[in-house]
Amino acid sequence: MAEAQLLVSEDEFTCSVCLDTLTDPVSISCGHSFCLKCLTDYWDQSQVCRCPQCREMFTVRPALRRNTLLNEVIKKLKKTAVSPSPPPLSQNYAGLEDVECDACTGKKFKAVKSCLTCMASFCQTHLQPHYEGDALKHHKLTDPDGNLKEKLCAKHQKSLEIFCKTDETYICMMCVVTGHKNHEMVELETQREEKEKLLRVTLSDIRRRLEQREKKLRETRRVMEQKKISVEGEVEENEKSFTDLMHCIEEAQKKLVEKIREQEKREIEKAEGVMEQLEKEIEELKKIYAELEELSEIKDNVHFQQTQTFPSCRVLPADGDSLSFTVIANVSSEDLRKELSCVKKILEKITQWDIMTLTSGREAPVLTLQPPEPRRRDEFLQYFCPLTLDINTAHKDLHLSEGNKKVTCERTQPEYPDHPDRFDYWEQVLCREALTGTRSYWEVECTGDWVLIGVAYKGLSRKGKDLECSFGSNNKSWSLLCADSQYAVRHNDEETEISAPYSPRIGVYLDWPAGSLSFYSVSHTMTLLHRFNTSFTEPLYPGFGFWLDCKSSAKICHLTPCDH
């Protein structure tokens, strides 16, 4: 039996994971054996349960139990074996990317393990003392590492085992007693656990951001696909409309030409009849003329008297009886040209319109045509919207009058009841009308030294001194400040001064779909003071603000038909 044991090599009982002799061997149903710890770690780090050697996959993770018989065989083999039989040398020499054995002389073999205690790497042969000698069994082995020098303390040439939190550096045990007294220190494993916690948090945050961006990407792709479909549908509809229009124009032109040709034919036929009749009458008149001329040449009075009754029996054609010819046109060429000119102007105006894309919730984007930006006051007034001040939002120092069209800042406090929408610190008031989804224009007449004209979302705060309540001092409102005959615009607590001629009348133009809010100085011309370009997400409410020490007022102008 002893002789049979000598015929068996220890290499025949090698774990294919760690490439070392089996330790606490376990066998699985496919017939392969591994170290208990190696196989457990391998499965813990994998998402699927496979045999590391034959790749057979298990739907349920097998329960691992130590193979007692195999374990006893390996123990007896280690006692009887003098030294392990090395594999063929051609398979063990270190290549360019392999870690070399530090114990080999001459041509070095490939290291299979690195010892963090010895700070050296060993091939299979020179690693054996770490398994057989009691002094080396407790050394910490790891996968081959070619950068062991980086794990040595540069000062003491000892292994780095401690992390100094005070100096944020890795140190050896000699450093602990020589240069880091009273410092906060932890073992490398503890520091690794802390870093792994931070790493997991970072990975979780990155994964969350990644999921958000992937979701945003999917949503953007979906919107783009919907937009492509919408655009194709819109192009098809417009092509059909213009094709129908061109067909209609061609048919109108064809029918008009046909009617003109028919009228021409009728008038030509009528004229030809008149000309034929005229030619007959001319021939008859010439004949009568010749006869009468011949009669006039008779010298004999008796004969003249006897023949003069002959021509008198003839009836001459009446003047103008056959000349009743007039050309009557059903269509005036001048009127036609005017109508066609109007159609041309309409088409030219359509080509100047802007194309807006509107998206509501998860619905497909809708393309709409928008008229060009107004320039003259009469063009702005096409979008005029009547506004009324909301008394439930007015600060107690603001007085509303003229049917809630005018607001004045004064110290005579009216008896306003408490209301959740009322501004309790800032002298401000909002209008009742919510503006959204279209174009709107209104004008304000300002008096005094300090008036704030603006728009805000309904969610603008109303209570307290916080800037979240003040027009233009947050991301929920936009405003124009008229102070001391000068202008300034505000949004998100950023103020920009404007140099422009002062006018007490201000025009406000809101293009909600285009995300445009413009303030104009209104006099004999429209002077643009400032334009905010953004993307509105909620309905906007016009409003006004004041400074109590400045007696000021603002009046919403009532525009009559003559203004248009």
Question: Is 323's pLDDT higher than 50?
Answer: no
Q: What are phi and psi of 449, to 5 degrees?
A: -105, -10
Confidence class for position 319, pLDDT limits 50, 70, 90: low
The pLDDT assigned to 325 comes to 47
Helix H or strand E segment including 265: helix 188-296
The pLDDT assigned to 528 comes to 94
Mean pLDDT score across all residues of the chain: 82
Query: Mapping DSSP to helix (H, G, I), strand (E, B) and coil, where does residue 80 land?
Result: helix
- Range from 103-107, 310-314, 497-501 that averages highest in pLDDT: 497-501
Confidence class for position 454, pLDDT limits 50, 70, 90: very high
- Range from 26-30, 76-80, 154-158, 488-492 that averages highest in pLDDT: 488-492
Query: Mapping DSSP to helix (H, G, I), strand (E, B) and coil, where does residue 266 land?
Result: helix
| DSSP annotation of 504 | S
The pLDDT assigned to 560 comes to 59
pLDDT (tens digit, 9 = 90+) per residue, 182-218?
A: 888 888 788 888 888 989 999 999 999 999 999 999 9
Helix H or strand E segment including 455: strand 450-457
Percent of the chain with pLDDT over 70: 86
The pLDDT assigned to 369 comes to 58
Lowest-confidence region among 337-351, 386-400, 405-419, 491-505: 337-351
Confidence class for position 352, pLDDT limits 50, 70, 90: low
The answer to whether 110 and 123 are in contact (CB under 8 A) is: yes
pLDDT (tens digit, 9 = 90+) per residue, 126-147?
A: 888 888 777 777 787 888 887 7
The pLDDT assigned to 355 comes to 59
Structure tokens at 105: 């002389």
The pLDDT assigned to 312 comes to 47
Q: Which residues contact 120 (CB under 8 A, 6 or more apart)?
A: 102, 103, 114, 148
pLDDT (tens digit, 9 = 90+) per residue, 379-433?
A: 999 999 999 999 999 999 899 999 999 999 887 777 888 999 999 999 999 999 9
Question: Is 548's pLDDT higher than 60?
Answer: yes
Classify 405 in phi/psi space as left (phi over 0), alpha (psi -120 to 50) or beta. Answer: alpha
Question: Is 2's pLDDT higher than 50?
Answer: no
Question: Is 90's pLDDT higher than 60?
Answer: no
Question: Is 362's pLDDT higher than 60?
Answer: no
Structure tokens at 200: 């997991």
* Look-up of token digits 């063009």: 379
Lowest-confidence region among 1-10, 12-21, 172-181, 314-323: 1-10
pLDDT (tens digit, 9 = 90+) per residue, 42-70?
A: 888 877 788 887 778 888 888 888 888 88
Buried b / exposed e along 400-416 (16+ C-beta atoms within 10 A): beeebbbbbbeeeeeeb
Structure tokens at 519: 């303030």
* Look-up of token digits 């120092």: 397
Give the 3-state DSSP-derived string for 456-500, with helices as H, strands as E and coil as C.
Answer: EECCCCCCCCCHHHCCCCCCCEEEEEEECCEEEEEECCEEEEECC
Rg over CA atoms, the chain = 52
Give the C-alpha separation, 343 to 399, whole Å: 52
Question: Is 223's pLDDT higher than 80?
Answer: yes
Mean pLDDT of 76-96: 62
Higher pLDDT, 99 or 319: 99
The pLDDT assigned to 562 comes to 46
Question: Is 443's pLDDT higher than 90?
Answer: yes
Mean pLDDT of 363-384: 75
Percent of the chain with pLDDT over 90: 29
The pLDDT assigned to 188 comes to 78
Confidence class for position 335, pLDDT limits 50, 70, 90: confident
Confidence class for position 82, pLDDT limits 50, 70, 90: very low
The pLDDT assigned to 406 comes to 94
Higher pLDDT, 177 or 41: 41
Confidence class for position 3, pLDDT limits 50, 70, 90: very low
pLDDT (tens digit, 9 = 90+) per residue, 464-478?
A: 888 999 999 999 999
The pLDDT assigned to 350 comes to 72
The pLDDT assigned to 511 comes to 94
The answer to whether 71 and 79 are in contact (CB under 8 A) is: no
Mean pLDDT of 277-292: 90
Question: Is 84's pLDDT higher than 70?
Answer: no
Reported pTM: 0.43
Higher pLDDT, 89 or 256: 256
Calculate ∠ Cα 134-135-138, nearest 5°.
Answer: 85
The pLDDT assigned to 120 comes to 84
Q: Which residues contact 79 (CB under 8 A, 6 or more apart)?
A: none
Question: Is 543's pLDDT higher than 90?
Answer: yes
